Every structure is written in C-alpha cells, then in structure tokens.
Structure 1
C-alpha cells in the first residue's frame, strides 16, 4: 500500500493540486491512493518528485514502502 494520501495531507494539498503537478486528473490520484490502480515505477518517481516540489521532504521509500519489508515472505 502506498502513502500518497498521507504525504499529501501533511502538505495540506488536494488531489487536484497534486494531479496538476503531474499534468493529470484528480481521479488518477484518487485511484492510486485507493489502490484501485497501481502506478508504474516512472509514475511513482514523478509523484515523489511532485510531492517534494510542493514542499514535502519525503523519500521514495516513505511514499512507496517495500511491501515485503514487514512480511515473513522470503524472496
């Protein structure tokens, strides 16, 4: 699960504001936040960069944590 919504809320910005930085629509951000759609790697980086341009100080791993990190699964 991603942390887009949490980072966006810390900045007090709307989905539309984040979407505007990505030249996208707010429904796309909504779908990513709800895990209805999964962004590809390039889009993930674009989201992290946009959040940082809007004032966040976040890393890729904070927005898109490793799903296996807290799992007992082996790779």
Structure 2
C-alpha cells in the first residue's frame, strides 16, 4: 500500500492536478492509489517529484512508507 491519496487529501491536491503533473492517465494514478497496481521505483520517484513540483514537500518514505507492504502482506 501507499499514502498517495492521503497525501493528496492532506495537501488539497485534486487527482487531476497530480495526473497532469505526472503526464499519466487518471486511471493509472487511481490504480496506484487504490492498490490495484503496485508502483515500481521509477513510478514512486515520479509521484514524489510531482508532489514536490506541486508545492508539497515530501519524500519517498512519506508516500511509500517502509514496511507498509510487508505489514499488508502479513495480514
């Protein structure tokens, strides 16, 4: 899992604005947010970069917390 949607909501960024910054489709971002698709390192970095570009100071660990996937898999 990840914190993309939570970070967007907390920062007041609309999904369409993040999509525009990324140059992706809304469906692609939605799939990452919902966990239907797992982002690779390149995609993770692009998402963090887009947040920073939109004025949100965050890191890779803020959006993709370490161990978050491990705890979800153990459940």
- Per the TM superposition, whether the score is higher than 0.5 is yes
Query: What residue number does 2:18 align with?
Result: 18
Length-normalised TM-score, structure 1: 0.84
RMSD in angstroms over aligned alpha carbons? Answer: 1.8
Stretches (4+) displaced over 4 A: none
TM-superposed CA distance for 1:20, in Å, is: 0.8
Length-normalised TM-score, structure 2: 0.84
Which of the pair is proportionally richer in helix? 2
Structure 1, unmatched stretches of 5+, are none
Higher Rg: 1
Structure 2, unmatched stretches of 5+, are none
